[in-house]
Structure 1
Amino acid sequence: MNNEFSGVGERLRQLLKKNKLKQVDVCYAAGISKNAMSNYISGNRVPDTKALYKLSKVFTVSMEWLLTGDENVTTIALGQTEKSMLDLFRGLSHEDREEIIMLIDLKYHRSRSKKGNK
């Protein structure tokens, strides 16, 4: 097994305990065989991409966290306005992107200082 992902089984055990679930419950919810789940938890196997995705959805954690335990990885759901802004931003040149970033930074710091003065 890849040592990079050696803690997957332990993280799955933690999630089972935290959520008060049995392996069979997760197998049913994720559509994963009992044998595969047992192998993941015992550390004999690392979940493939599809299984990892399904497990992350069942436990509402990121796939990255399941694999690595890195808690700094966050998944943020974007609203429609944010998605539209991101699409527009991606269509800009590098120079225009830099200008927008500077403008956002300026606006952010202005709003923070206004809130601090109230």
Structure 2
Amino acid sequence: MIGEKLRRLIKRKGIKQVEVCRAVGLSPSRLSNYLSGSREPDLETLSKIARFLEVKLDYFAFGDSIKNTKEIGERIKKIREMRGLTKKDLSDSTGYDLTFFAALELGHGEFERETIETISQILKYGADELIGTNEQNTEALSAVMENEVVDYFPASPETQYHLDDIASGRTEALKTPFWTVVTDGRFAPKINENELVFVEKIIGFPEDRESVLFASEGTLRLMRCFEYHDSVLLAPESKAGEPISLNKSEEMKPGSRCYKIHWIAKKPD
């Protein structure tokens, strides 16, 4: 099995077998034995081969084909949506057709590890986390913080909304996260003019230490949440205005809304 994977990897990399021999210190006959499967390399040799071919050692432990599951599909879909990408964006960037991504996110079929590594590069998310357990995924997602550097694909993400749309309530009915354009410096230096913010309306109260946009009475403020036993304190991030205390036992004041900040990034030129 290792020999077949090694042969396919060498072919995919466009490397000559003699180059592998020179880099790793193998004789041509020994490499030939590895490729045919008549012998298998020891761990030290396999590690040297993996480093030269720029793959992780576990490439040789995983099967080329990975069985898809509903959990994997949902995980890929969730990360894709958090990145503000469509299935067409992934299709255009990877060369796989839309039908493949539709089946992938439903948990159908199988895929090669190379495929998931390609997708993970676009999503800026680890391949192992994409195909890992729910527990691993939850821990990885919790480590994602706002202000993470985001490389956009496509070059111009769909942005139909501005900060004033959030303040006025025009985005209140949106059920999914969305991009909004910052056209002024009201939140500088935390969020600057010409940056994009990927936000999502929060149902209920924000979580401890979460960064949010708080809309109330036609105004919009950048706040940091501090959670206490029976209340939530929203402290201004841009040093404008007074803190706001919210009682957990009461509903938020009518017309008041919180939007969680997923990502902040520079708007493409």
TM-score bin, normalised by smaller chain: 0.5 to 0.7
- In the superposition, the TM-score normalised over structure 2's length comes to 0.26
Distance in 1 (alpha carbons) for counterparts of 2:41 and 2:10: 16
Distance in 1 (alpha carbons) for counterparts of 2:11 and 2:5: 10
Q: Which residue of 2 aligns with 1:60?
A: 54
1:9 to 2:3 alignment: yes
Deviations 1:11-46 (A, max 9, x none): 111111111112111100111221221111001111
- Give the 3-state SS of the residue equivalent to 2:26 in structure 1: coil
Distance in 2 (alpha carbons) for counterparts of 1:22 and 1:69: 24
CA RMSD of aligned residues (A): 3.5
1:115 to 2:261 alignment: yes
Residue identity matched to 1:53: S
- The higher-RCO structure (CA 8 Å, 6+ apart) is 1
Distance in 2 (alpha carbons) for counterparts of 1:22 and 1:106: 41
Distance in 1 (alpha carbons) for counterparts of 2:56 and 2:28: 22
- Structure 1 or 2, whichever has the larger Rg, is 2
Contact map agreement 1:16 1:22 (CA 8 A) in 2: yes
Deviations 1:51-79 (A, max 9, x none): 101100111111121233374xx9xxxxx
Q: Which residue of 2 aligns with 1:47?
A: 41
Distance in 1 (alpha carbons) for counterparts of 2:40 and 2:20: 16
Contact map agreement 1:27 1:37 (CA 8 A) in 2: yes
More strand by share: 2
Distance in 2 (alpha carbons) for counterparts of 1:64 and 1:18: 17
Q: CA, structure 1 residues 105+18, in 2 after alignment: closer, same or farther (shift >3 Å)?
A: closer
Q: CA, structure 1 residues 8+107, in 2 after alignment: closer, same or farther (shift >3 Å)?
A: closer
- In the superposition, the TM-score normalised over structure 1's length comes to 0.55
**Aligned residue-pair number:** 83
Task: List runs of 5+ in structure 2 lacking aligned partners.
Answer: 65-112, 118-138, 146-206, 213-258, 265-269
Which consecutive segments of 4 or more residues in structure 1 shift more than 6 A? none
More helix by share: 1
Distance in 2 (alpha carbons) for counterparts of 1:25 and 1:32: 10
Q: Which residue of 2 aligns with 1:38?
A: 32
